[in-house]
Amino acid sequence: MKIDEIDIRILQELKKNARLSMRELGKKINLSPPSVAERVRRLEDQGVIEGYTVSINRKKLGFAIDCLMEVSIKNGEYQRFQQYIESHSRMVFCYRITGESCYMVKLSVVSLKEIEDFINEVCTFAKTVSHIVISEVKPQPNAEWQLPILQNEK
């Protein structure tokens, strides 16, 4: 699949605001709305654009505590943990990782009791190390990002 500079500009604009109409997007990148729509459709069909989402501020909904948790599986109980975490209502993400731990999980919770409950529920098949998040460093909203496929061309 060939990605060109126009595709990159489309992706950058949609990353800033996925709600742009094809007309608005076309104005920003100096391309006609039908051409933009065709390119966006191609990027979607090829799986480059996987979807459009809403960013939710969990803190404003009462989830004041974020916890990063290293999870190490006991006795090969990977399936059991995966089934458990897939349906856990406070899980923000779960990554299978390398290193001393097997997974890195982010929980967003209302109270420390919920973290304790999580630990108690998985302790028979997993060992955990918890890290409470005290602040977050976010990328600047309009920070430029470079696609790996273009880094080698420069």
Q: Which domains does the chain have, with CATH numbers?
A: 5-53 (1.10.10.10), 59-132 (3.30.70.920)
Percent of the chain clearing pLDDT 70 (strictly above): 91
pLDDT at site 140: 75
CA dist 129 → 9, 32, 75, 81 (Å): 41, 53, 18, 15
Q: Under a CB-based contact definition with an 8 Å cutoff, are residues 97 and 103 in contact?
A: yes
pTM, two decimal places:
0.78
- Residue 12, C-beta contacts closer than 8 angstroms, at least 6 positions apart: 144, 145
Of all helices (H) and strands (E), which one includes residue 96?
A: strand 91-96
What percent of the chain lies above the pLDDT cut of 90?
Answer: 80
**CB atoms near residue 36 (< 10 Å):** 23
Please state the length of the chain. 154
CA nearest to 85, candidates 122, 127, 130: 122
